[in-house]
Chain A
Amino acid sequence: MDFFSSMRVSASGLEAQTKRMNTISSNIANAETTQVEGQDGPYKRKDAIFTATTDKENFGEILNNQLDQQIQGVLVEDIHEDTAPPRMVYNPSHPDSNEEGYVAMPNVNMIEETANMISAQRSYEANVTAMNAAKAMAAKALEIGK
Chain B
Amino acid sequence: MSVFDSTIQGLDNSMDLRLMNQNVISSNIANADTPGYKSKKVEFEGALRQALAVDGNLPLEGNSPEHIVIQGNGPVTAAVADDTNGVESLDGNTVNRSEEMAKMVENQLLYDAAAEMLKKKLGMLKYSISEGGGNR
Q: Answer whether residue B6 sits at the interface, using C-beta atoms and an 8 A cutoff.
A: no
The residues in A between 1 and 49 inclusive whose CB is less than 8 angstroms from any CB of B are 1-3, 5-7, 9-10, 12-13, 16-17, 20, 49
Q: Answer whether residue B45 sits at the interface, using C-beta atoms and an 8 A cutoff.
A: no
Question: How many residues on chain B are close to A (CB under 8 Å)?
Answer: 34
The reply to whether B119 and A52 form a contact with Cβ atoms under 8 Å apart is no
Q: Answer whether residue A79 sits at the interface, using C-beta atoms and an 8 A cutoff.
A: no
Q: Answer whether residue A94 sits at the interface, using C-beta atoms and an 8 A cutoff.
A: no
Q: Answer whether residue A110 sits at the interface, using C-beta atoms and an 8 A cutoff.
A: no
Taking CB as reference atom, which chain B residue is nearest A119?
B33
Q: Answer whether residue B53 sits at the interface, using C-beta atoms and an 8 A cutoff.
A: no
Q: Answer whether residue A144 sits at the interface, using C-beta atoms and an 8 A cutoff.
A: yes
Given contacts A74-B34, A137-B19, contact A130 B29 (CB under 8 A): yes
* A-to-B contact residues, CB < 8 Å: 1-3, 5-7, 9-10, 12-13, 16-17, 20, 49-52, 55, 67, 70-74, 119-120, 122-123, 126-127, 129-131, 133-134, 136-137, 140-141, 143-146
Beyond A16-B33, A140-B116, 6 extra complex contacts between A and B, CB < 8 Å = A1-B20, A7-B26, A126-B32, A137-B19, A140-B111, A144-B115
5 A–B pairs (Cβ distance < 8 Å), ordered by A = A6-B26, A50-B33, A126-B32, A127-B29, A130-B104
